[in-house]
């Protein structure tokens, strides 16, 4: 990445885990008189430019919200498009990402609504890249924060864990990705100020950066801007200001 883009970035305080709500595809398309699905298609360049930027910045974990448990409420044509699109993304990019040492993972429910061919592609991409030690790219797909907590509690009950043994640690251990640190930074595009059921447990102390940029226009430079904003924040975790 060119040095000017990275100016003002402290290489010693790069967030370990960045999570992104890729929002605004529909509005991007509407502004151009295109179909909503064209907006999703345009989000592909945004995603892979941003992933490249994340690798260059040395971000260890990068999580993107691709399809929520609530997105099934969309018109059937759009849902069908998004299923095929996410499968296509893996077909087009998994091998490149593999060559770059990226480990691809998925977080979400594997329920009957997700077409079998999509699940097969997801398994293929995860298997292909399982041994990689570079950045971990987690695609939150058919993901809901509440569903994740429900699934964790179900797993604990199934194991017969006694009520007194249930604590934050045991719940954390039963989330979809127990080995991944909580996001330091969450970015949401398109000017919406909400979480929309993303990583509810994990975001407890994340710094949140909201930007008006619509997802298809988002590029690595915007990621760098968000990291710069993150580095200017004072994370207190309930304590007192570190500079005070
Ligand atoms: C985000 O863009 C993509 C998904 C939720 C899959 P949207 O499709 O939500 O775009 P807007 O919010 O309608 O502009
Ligand atoms: C959140 O965006 C989900 C994804 C980006 C996949 P939405 O567009 O679905 O969220 P709401 O409906 O505006 O809250
Ligand atoms: Mg949206």
The parent domain of residue 78 ranges over 17-144+184-231
Q: What is the CATH number of the domain that holds 101?
A: 3.40.1180.10
Q: How many domains does the chain contain in total?
A: 1
φ and ψ of 126, to 5 deg = -65, -40
Q: How far apart are the CA of 23 and the centre of ligand 1, in A?
A: 5
Q: Are 97 and 129 in contact (CB under 8 A)?
A: yes
CA distance 196 to 183: 16
Atom of ligand 1 nearest to the CA of 22: 1
pTM of the model: 0.97
Does 23 participate in catalysis according to the annotation? yes
Cα angle, residue 19 at apex, residues 236 and 55 outer, rounded to 5°: 105
**173 in any annotated domain:** no
- CB-based pocket (< 6 A), ligand 2: 21-23, 65-68, 71, 192, 194, 196
Could you say which ligand is closest to the alpha carbon of residue 214? 1
Does 197 participate in catalysis according to the annotation? no
CA distance 37 to 25: 8
**4 in any annotated domain:** no
Local confidence pLDDT in tens for the 244 residues of the chain: 555 578 889 999 999 999 999 999 999 999 999 999 999 999 999 999 999 999 999 999 999 999 999 999 999 999 999 999 999 999 999 999 999 999 999 999 999 999 999 999 999 999 999 999 999 999 999 999 999 999 999 999 999 999 999 999 999 999 999 999 999 999 999 999 999 999 999 999 999 999 999 999 999 999 999 999 999 999 999 999 876 5
Nearest CA to 181 out of 155, 203, 150 is that of 203
């Amino acid at each position: 990445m060119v040095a000017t883009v990275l100016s003002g970035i402290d290489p010693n305080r790069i967030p370990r885990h960045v999570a992104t709500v890729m929002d605004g595809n529909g509005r991007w398309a509407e502004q151009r008189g295109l179909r909503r699905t064209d907006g999703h298609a345009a989000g592909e360049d945004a995603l892979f430019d941003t992933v490249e930027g994340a690798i260059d910045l040395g971000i260890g974990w990068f999580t993107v919200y691709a399809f929520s448990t609530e997105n099934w409420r969309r018109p059937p044509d759009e849902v069908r498009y998004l299923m095929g699109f996410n499968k296509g993304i893996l077909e087009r990019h998994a091998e490149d990402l593999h060559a770059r040492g990226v480990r691809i993972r998925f977080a979400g429910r594997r329920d009957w609504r997700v077409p079998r061919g999509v699940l097969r592609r997801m398994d293929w991409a995860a298997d292909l890249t399982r041994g990689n030690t570079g950045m971990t790219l987690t695609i939150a797909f058919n993901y809901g924060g509440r569903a994740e907590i429900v699934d964790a509690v179900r797993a604990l009950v199934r194991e017969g864990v006694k009520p007194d043994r249930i604590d934050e640690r045991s719940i954390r251990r039963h989330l979809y990705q127990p080995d991944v640190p909580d996001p330091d930074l969450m970015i949401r595009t398109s000017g919406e100020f909400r979480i929309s059921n993303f990583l509810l447990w994990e975001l407890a102390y994340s710094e949140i950066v909201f930007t008006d940029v619509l997802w298809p226009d988002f590029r690595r430079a915007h990621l760098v801007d968000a990291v710069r904003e993150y580095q200017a924040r004072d994370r207190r975790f309930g304590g007192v200001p570190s500079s005070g």
